[in-house]
Structure 1
Amino acid sequence: MDDWRNGGFGLYIHWPFCQAKCPYCDFNSHVTAQIDQTRWAAAYRAEMLRAAPELSGRVLNTIFFGGGTPSLMHPDTVASIIETAREIWPFSNDIEISLEANPTSVEAGRFAGYRDAGVNRISMGIQALNDDDLRRLGRLHNVAEAQKAFDVARNCFDRVSFDLIYARQGQTLTDWRQELDQALSMAIDHLSLYQLTIEEGTAFGDRYAKGKLRDLPSDDNAAEMYLATQEICDNHGLPAYEISNHARPGAESRHNLIYWRYGDYLGIGPGAHGRLTIGGQRYATETYLQPGAWLNAAERTTGETSRTQLTSEESSAEYMMMGMRLVEGLDSDRFQEISGRSLPAERISDLADIGMIEISGNRLRATDSGRAVLNAVLRELLVE
């Protein structure tokens, strides 16, 4: 009934607005000229208060403002949300409150406002340290602006992370090595490093389908970039703790660890998902995707559109898929408690024989080689 306590409890706030839609992005983000921030702050508050009775008696470990571009939020909006959360739940002594930011929306005064509101970690969407590639990715900033924004963030916050995308058009392994070295030369303690994926329904997806997205690295070249990423980050003291995330020891994203350790999180805002344990049952929650529909519903009744009770099989599969992303792996005893069955011993033995996974005590984890092809490993572990 209390399995979620193994991962913790977090609050995710989705801010759906951006200055422009990036061509690779399949997140629920929208461009609009007018935003009534007072109205939005009230709607977030109403949704948290609605959820409070079902989630009483919990300690809140993390808050994450994602998007979209949350650094377009007024600091007063952020402060209102944090204050409401504090009214409802006691905060853990080391609560992590993160906010995603784009370099184009960074102002020293605004960042100081976020800090004063209670934000203590910034995650910055830099994406590339090459001006030509930033233009191809549809970003509105250049490298100089990104570096300046990073400096502003560093002056306000002890914890700053930033994202980079690799396997971009025309990018070579040498290019990526140089760019990653440049990123690591900055005063950084956390990096999220994602391979460019072409998603259906995005501008890049449409171009790719028409044969107009040329010069993408081959799968083999992208795999070489992934392996180089592990080597370079290890050498700089930022080992991987998850497939795409690297940190100095102690600087890991605690909010994302709630996802990967299969804790509970309340998702509020357009398109936000959640996982909540209520009355001993775990539920998957969803919300309205369109900002206007969510806002109107949150003001009237609730922005939640569905709440699906997960079976033990579904929960154990989710725990497997999340936990195996982590270098620490998953707890085999916990898997058995969730699923009511043991891990597939024969398949584990076969995967261990070929160096894809390893077992230490009650921990099952993917090796470096296994994490590079994790989807294939998971297919073997999850097949009936």
Structure 2
Amino acid sequence: MTAVLDGGPGFGVYVHWPFCAAKCPYCDFNSHVRHQPVDQERFVTAFARELATMRARTGPRSVSSIFLGGGTPSLMEPKTVGAILDAIAANWRMPAGIEITLEANPSSVEADRFRGYRSAGVNRVSLGVQALNDRDLRLLGRLHNVEEALRAIRLARDIFPRMSFDLIYARPGQTADAWAAELEEAIGHAADHLSLYQLTIEEGTPFHALRAAGKLVEIDPGLAADLYQATQDVTAAQGLPAYEISNHARPGAESRHNLIYWRYGEYVGVGPGAHGRFVEDGRRVVTITEKHPETWAALVESRGSGVTGGEMLTRSEEADEFLLMGLRLVEGIDLDRYEKLAGHPLSPQRVAVLREEGLLEPVGNSRLRATPAGMVVLDALVADLAR
């Protein structure tokens, strides 16, 4: 089980680069295709200004991790990444050795660019591989092939101290045997971390429209459940056990940035469509920025921030979010922290029922976690606990 960090869950900075070379048919993230070169200098200036505005709201903090996500951050020039990291360092303390992750697509990877990111300060890369066969890469709308993906993995392992890559499973037409073979191959290429996501069809995506038209057939839910369980079993046997529903790592190689989210820490989100959650004047606030990239930049230029939405959470809302995030983790939740957030403990009667049903289990005397069966029905489990 993942050890709990000392000194709290941490404070992170998330930077959203919203541009992609193409929009994948399953993706509902805030990503945009531009057929003309992006004015990276304009966006760097906007990032720096929004970071300064967020610093005025959070006060002095020590940054635990930085995550450059998207979109496709590997479409940024290395000097753009360096300028953004410099802007973060100008606003908060950045201790030596903090985790700085950049998401990259294999199709936009070049060795010189990777070395440039490393020189800028990036020490962890997360590759959007998604499949290790060319047929499914085409189905998923990816611009790279398997050969390019494996080249990117090798480069990442050579250049960065830490590396992860993503795969999507439960793809249309995928069999259990095919996934088992693909997963074994992936583990052979992995350094110390894998993110393995079950395909979900999100509203508003091309896949959603194709399914509605009968042109995309999802795999049977029973097979999807079997693939999930096989994923847990195979990765654990190979030394990369799950520490969260979809994330697997050798002990000590967990994503520090994502642990901030799941341990209900604080983070600033800057860039188009970014979300943040941090304590301001003693209350946890949510910030949501404008999604459209150029509109976001214009807002930052005119008033210092692209924030267009958000709220101040109630104690009950904080406690519900804490449950929803924390029960994704194999380490589970701290019961005392839940009680402090909610103002009351979890219902002993409800916990007892869920334990009897095999969905929850204690971890020592102070923590509670979802069982493997509970992980499969986590949303329903959290809703039951939070009643």
Asked if 1:363 corresponds to 2:384, the answer is no
Asked if 1:146 corresponds to 2:149, the answer is yes
Are the aligned partners of 1:61 and 1:94 in contact in 2 as well (CA < 8 Å)?
no
Q: C-alpha separation between the residues in 1 aligned to 2:73 and 2:214?
A: 34
TM-superposed CA distance for 1:278, in Å, is 0.7
Where 2:168 maps in the other structure, the secondary structure is strand
The 5 A counterparts of 1:34-45 are 34-45=37-48
Asked if 1:345 corresponds to 2:340, the answer is no
TM-superposed CA distance for 1:210, in Å, is 1.2
TM-superposed CA distance for 1:373, in Å, is 1.7
Asked if 1:310 corresponds to 2:313, the answer is yes
Which of 268, 289, 297 is the matching residue for 2:291? Answer: 289
Asked if 1:376 corresponds to 2:376, the answer is no
Q: C-alpha separation between the residues in 2 aligned to 1:67 and 1:333?
A: 35
Q: C-alpha separation between the residues in 1 aligned to 2:189 and 2:129?
A: 13
Where 1:200 maps in the other structure, the secondary structure is coil
Q: C-alpha separation between the residues in 2 aligned to 1:165 and 1:24?
A: 10
Asked if 1:95 corresponds to 2:98, the answer is yes
Q: C-alpha separation between the residues in 1 aligned to 2:377 and 2:316?
A: 23
Partner deviation per Cα, 1:321-378 (whole Å, 9 max, x = no partner): 0000000000010001011011011111011112111112110101112112212211
Tell me what 2:204 maps to.
Answer: 201
Tell me what 2:9 maps to.
Answer: 7
- Percent sequence identity is 54
Q: C-alpha separation between the residues in 1 aligned to 2:158 and 2:42?
A: 31
Are the aligned partners of 2:164 and 2:190 in contact in 1 as well (CA < 8 Å)?
no
Matched letter for residue 278 of structure 1: E
Q: Which moved more, 1:171-180 or 1:90-99?
A: 90-99
Tell me what 1:262 maps to.
Answer: 264
Asked if 1:160 corresponds to 2:168, the answer is no
TM-superposed CA distance for 1:187, in Å, is 4.0
Which of 40, 50, 55 is the matching residue for 2:53? Answer: 50
Q: C-alpha separation between the residues in 2 aligned to 1:170 and 1:118?
A: 41
TM-superposed CA distance for 1:186, in Å, is 1.1
Where 1:328 maps in the other structure, the secondary structure is coil
Are the aligned partners of 2:11 and 2:63 in contact in 1 as well (CA < 8 Å)?
yes
Aligned pairs, number:
378
TM-superposed CA distance for 1:54, in Å, is 2.2
Q: C-alpha separation between the residues in 1 aligned to 2:343 and 2:8?
A: 17
Tell me what 1:217 maps to.
Answer: 219
Partner deviation per Cα, 1:58-110 (whole Å, 9 max, x = no partner): 10001100000000011111000111111211113331000000000000000
Asked if 1:27 corresponds to 2:29, the answer is yes
Are the aligned partners of 2:68 and 2:102 in contact in 1 as well (CA < 8 Å)?
yes
Q: C-alpha separation between the residues in 2 aligned to 1:27 and 1:348?
A: 35
TM-superposed CA distance for 1:298, in Å, is 1.0
Tell me what 2:300 maps to.
Answer: 298
Partner deviation per Cα, 1:273-321 (whole Å, 9 max, x = no partner): 0101011100011000111110111111111112310000000000000
Q: C-alpha separation between the residues in 2 aligned to 1:273 and 1:26?
A: 15
Tell me what 1:191 maps to.
Answer: 194
Q: C-alpha separation between the residues in 2 aligned to 1:187 and 1:276?
A: 33
Tell me what 1:173 maps to.
Answer: 176
Tell me what 1:86 maps to.
Answer: 89
Where 1:194 maps in the other structure, the secondary structure is strand
Q: C-alpha separation between the residues in 1 aligned to 2:349 and 2:107?
A: 52
Partner deviation per Cα, 1:198-244 (whole Å, 9 max, x = no partner): 01100000011111102x21100000000000000001100000000
Name structure 1 gaps, 5 residues minimum: none
Q: C-alpha separation between the residues in 2 aligned to 1:306 and 1:148?
A: 41
Tell me the TM-score normalised to structure 2 length.
0.96
Matched letter for residue 266 of structure 1: V
Q: C-alpha separation between the residues in 2 aligned to 1:86 and 1:110?
A: 22
Matched letter for residue 28 of structure 2: D
The 5 A counterparts of 1:55-70 are 55-70=58-73
Name structure 2 gaps, 5 residues minimum: 1-6
Where 2:380 maps in the other structure, the secondary structure is helix
